Structure 1
Amino acid sequence: MTVEKNQVVTLSYTLNSLDSEGNKTLIEETNQDNALSFLYGAGMMIPKFEEEISGLSAGDKKSFVILPDEGYGEINQNAVTALPMDMFKESGEPPVGAVLPLQDQNGNQLHGVVTAVEADQVLVDLNHPMAGKTLAFDIEILALREATEEELAHGHAHGADGHGAH
C-alpha cells in the first residue's frame, strides 16, 4: 500500500527551518509516541507536503525542503495591524509574543502575534508563524490504512491514530 488519496497516513517527522546559509533551526519533532495522523488528500496539509509523500509506503523515510512560496507564503508586511487598547479592557494588556485568537469582518478565525504594546494600541502580526520560512522535513511513514466512511465524511482521521470521533 502506498500513500494516496483517502488514506489515513501516520508519520513521524523532524521539522527545521533553514536560513540562507542552510543552517537548521529545530521547529518541531515527533516520534512514534506522538506521531501525526491525517487524511491524505483532504486539504489538511500543505499541497507540497502531500506531493512529497505521495507514493511512499510504510517504513519509507524521506527528506525534503519546502520553500516559502510552496508552503505558508512570504511574509506580508501589510499583515501587521494595530488594535485599539480599549479592546483589552476586560482581558488586560497582552504581552509581546502572545498569540491572540481573532476574527475578521467575514467571521474567519485567525491568530495574531503581539509584536508591540503601545499606550493606545497593540500591534499584531497576522502572518502565519511559518510565513517566509524554508521548511526542511525528515519524515518516516509509520502506517497507512484506508479511511473509514465516517472519516471521509468528516474530512479527517478518527480513532487512536487520529483526531477522535466528533
Structure 2
Amino acid sequence: MTVKKDKVVEMHYTLKNDAGEVIDSTKEQDPMPFFQGHGNIVPGLEKAIEGMKVGESCEVKVEPKEAYGEHHSEGIQEIPMAALQGIDNLTLGMELQSQDEQGNAFIVCVKEINKDTVIVDANHPLAGQILHFNISIESIREASKEELEHGHIHAHGDSCSH
C-alpha cells in the first residue's frame, strides 16, 4: 500500500528551520496520524510523500508558498490597549482570538506591549520560512467510511457518536 488520498498515514518527522534548529519532532512520541490529501499537513510535504511506502523515509525541503505562506506585513497591527479589556496578565507570545470583518475567527500573537497599545501578528509563526522535514512512513491503512464522513481519524478504530 502506498501513501495516497483518503489513506490514514502515520509518520514520524523532525522539522528544522533553515538554520538547522529543530522546531518540532515526533521523536520519543507516537507517530503523527493524518488523512493524506485532506490538507492535514502542509501542501509541500503532502505532495512529497505521495506514493511512499511503509518503512520508507526521506528529507523534504518545503518553500514558504507550499508551507505556511509568505510573511505579510499587513498581518502585523497595532491595537489600542483599551480593545483588550478583560484580558488578564497580557504577556509576550500570548495567543489571542480575533475576528475579521466577516466575523471569521483567527489567532494573533502578542509581539510587543506598550503603555497604550499592543502590537499583534496574525501571520503563522512559520510564515515565510523554508521548512526542512526528515520523515519516515510508519503505517498506511484504509480510512473507514465513518472516518471519511466525520473528517477525522478515530484512534485505534474507535467510533464516535455525532
Residue 146 of structure 2 corresponds to residue 140 of structure 1: no
What residue in structure 1 maps to residue 98 of structure 2? 102
Q: Which consecutive residues of structure 1, in runs of 5 or more, have no partner in the other structure?
A: none
Match of 1:139, SS state, is strand
Answer whether contact 2:44 2:63 (CA < 8 A) is retained: no
- How many Å separate the matches in 1 of 2:157 and 2:93? 32
Change in 2 beyond 3 A, CA 1:7/1:136: same
Q: Which consecutive residues of structure 2, in runs of 5 or more, have no partner in the other structure?
A: none
Q: How does 1:149-160 map to 2 (within 5 A)?
A: 149-160=145-156
Residue 6 of structure 2 corresponds to residue 11 of structure 1: no
State the TM-score, normalized to the length of structure 1: 0.88
State the TM-score, normalized to the length of structure 2: 0.90
CA offset digits 1:107-162 (Å, max 9, x no partner): 32221111111222211011111101110000010000000111111222121489
Amino acid at match of 1:120: D
Amino acid at match of 1:62: C
Amino acid at match of 2:16: N
Q: How does 1:1-166 map to 2 (within 5 A)?
A: 1-18=1-18, 23-31=19-27, 33-160=29-156, 165=160
Answer whether contact 1:114 1:122 (CA < 8 A) is retained: yes
How many percent of aligned residue pairs carry the same amino acid?
Answer: 35
Tell me the C-alpha RMSD between the 2 structures: 1.9
Answer whether contact 1:37 1:161 (CA < 8 A) is retained: no
1:32 deviates by: 6.6
Match of 1:33, SS state, is coil
Q: How many residues align?
A: 161
Answer whether contact 1:10 1:142 (CA < 8 A) is retained: yes
